[in-house]
Amino acid sequence: MWNRVWLLAVLLTSILSPSIRAEDPKSEPPARKPPSFKTPKGWEALELDKLGIATARFRAGNGANEATIVVVGSRGDGNLVANVNRWRGVVGLKALNEADALKSLMPIKVDGLPAHLLDITGPEVDGKPAQRAVAIVVTSGDNTWFLKIGGSSAAVGEHKNAFEEFAQSVRFEK
């Protein structure tokens, strides 16, 4: 009989203990701390939003463009090609197959870590200016970070050097 009681206790413990731990606030992973960065001259730094996304904004021409740092959950490696194609869609370009999407990325370093840079420009459409996006993807620890600037081709071109300065100033908490 004690063997059955012991077996039942072991089974209940193994079934219930994950749910007990999930409710224990001490066992939750620590909040991600956004990276630090220097705001380039002429850019306006904004407050962090509710999700902890750091944003630097600049104005050029008739509109505002933003350079953003976005954290994405964990290290999942399936997002790189999907993001390349999503950003291509934003500027009016067609999606690429996996091999071509990966070829469109240039290797760089951010805070000494290997990263990927994408610089794409779409076509002019219906008299509207061509759109351009420059994006960087870097993994630090268990986090994947996206740094991106987007807007009209002319505005992004005018601020690309400042964006590169911005990207090179990013420092991740170690």
Domain assignment present for 23: no
Q: Which amino acid is at 54?
A: A
Rounded Cα distance between 67 and 52, Å, is 14
Domain assignment present for 161: yes
Which tokens go with 8?
A: 């039942």
Domain assignment present for 12: no
Domain count, the chain: 1
Question: What CATH number did the domain enclosing 122 receive?
Answer: 3.40.1000.10
Sheet holding 63-72, edge to edge: 44-45, 54-60, 63-72, 143-152, 131-140, 113-121, 106-110
Domain assignment present for 28: no
Query: Can you give the pLDDT of all 174 residues of the chain as single tens digits?
Result: 433 433 333 333 333 444 334 444 454 445 567 788 888 888 877 776 666 666 777 776 666 676 676 655 545 544 789 999 999 999 999 999 999 999 999 999 999 999 999 999 999 999 999 999 999 999 888 788 888 888 889 888 988 998 899 899 999 887
Domain assignment present for 21: no
* Full domain range(s) for residue 53: 44-169
Q: pTM value?
A: 0.74
Domain assignment present for 134: yes
Which tokens go with 98?
A: 């996996």
Domain assignment present for 125: yes
Rounded Cα distance between 68 and 168, Å, is 14
